[in-house]
Amino acid sequence: MIDEKLQNECHLLTEDHHLSYLLHQNAEFLWFILVPHTHLTQFYQLEPKLLRQICHKINRISEFIQAQFAIERLNVTTVGQDVSQLHINVAEHTTRMSIWPEEAWGRSCSKTYACEEITTIQQQLTVHLKNHAKKAKACLTFNR
């Protein structure tokens, strides 16, 4: 179950066994939120195997953001003063942002995504994650 505040402020893009992938509704800058499927509230509390898998998926979404949007810098953090549920923010932090150099967290939303934009991002992310999963599976098969 995803925290109510995250549900109200984000769009669910996709899910897998370990995470829900959200896109924050504020379209002034890119802000993805990964929500691990766990009852734990602190990153350091995660089991080592799950921690590695989540770090791997943080890298995958970071690669996706770089490939699709050519963002020069990303912030990756588990800031959670408003939401106690464990979540990882992967957000743009670049000079093109209207709020530069301020942080994205806690800002009011002045620009939102159109439905078509959300659908496009969702489709692109799904393809990226599936392609990477196929490559990872091929490597595992090859290395056996």
**Pair of tokens at residue 106:** 């806690």
Tell me the two tokens of residue 128: 């990226």
Q: What's the CATH code of the domain at 130?
A: 3.30.428.10
The 10s digit of each residue's pLDDT in 19-72 is 999 999 988 888 999 999 999 999 999 999 999 999 999 999 999 999 998 888
Give the mean model confidence (pLDDT) for residues 89-111.
69
Distance CA 15, CA 70 (A): 24
Query: Tens digit of pLDDT for each residue in 104-123?
Result: 656 666 789 999 999 999 99
Interatomic CA distance for residues 95 and 98, integer angstroms: 8
CA proximity to 128, closest of 66, 82, 72, 35: 66
Total of domains in the chain: 1
Give the pLDDT of residue 135.
57
Enclosing domain of residue 35: 4-142
> How deeply is 124 buried, as exposed, middle or buried, from its count of CB atoms within 10 A (0-12, 13-18, 19+)?
middle
